[in-house]
Amino acid sequence: MKTHRGIDGRDVDAPAPRHLVELGASRSIAAGTRMASAATARSIDDYIAGFPPETLRALTQVRALIRELAPDATETISYAIPTFDLNGRHLVHFAGYARHIGFYPIPSGIEAFKEELAPYKQGRGSVQFPLDRPMPMDLIRRIVEFRVAENRARVRS
């Protein structure tokens, strides 16, 4: 059994949740999964560098937007994907795939925008933005702003 990083940032000696197992890099990017080299990335720069130009551009855009909206957030790799932490908690995750960008604003971020996210493939706490369509940066902006506000409200209470 492999350990994985829990939502609180500590290592957990338990199987990773199924949706995170599905993020594994054991299949090729042609099959629609992440680049194999991304699984060993130690930084978001390392992670992004391993993708083809179209995916790299989209990942860079998403990262820059999150940085702009959460300048106090810490960049890290958690669950083998880029993660922004704020006040000791995961804010959002994102990941690159052959045909889409995965965006993981945890379930509350998905629920708050469920109508606007309806056109996109989703899972609990995740959404897929296809690379063959314009990246919905305004929607991503509003989701990140929501998550920042939610995070700050938790800290105050």
Digits of tens for pLDDT over the chain (157 positions)?
445 444 444 555 555 544 444 444 333 333 344 444 566 889 999 999 989 999 999 999 999 999 999 999 999 999 999 999 999 999 999 999 999 999 999 999 999 999 999 999 999 899 999 999 999 999 999 999 999 999 999 888 7
pTM higher than 0.85 for the full model? no
Domains and CATH numbers, the chain: 4-156 (3.90.1150.200)
**In the chain, at which residue ranges do the beta strands (DSSP E only) sit?**
4-5, 11-12, 74-78, 81-86, 89-96, 100-104, 122-123, 126-130
Residue 18 has a pLDDT of: 43
Which residue in 92, 93, 100 sits closest to 146, CA to CA? 92
* Dihedral angle over CA of 127, 94, 69, 72, nearest 10: 140
Residue 30 has a pLDDT of: 36
Residue 11 has a pLDDT of: 54
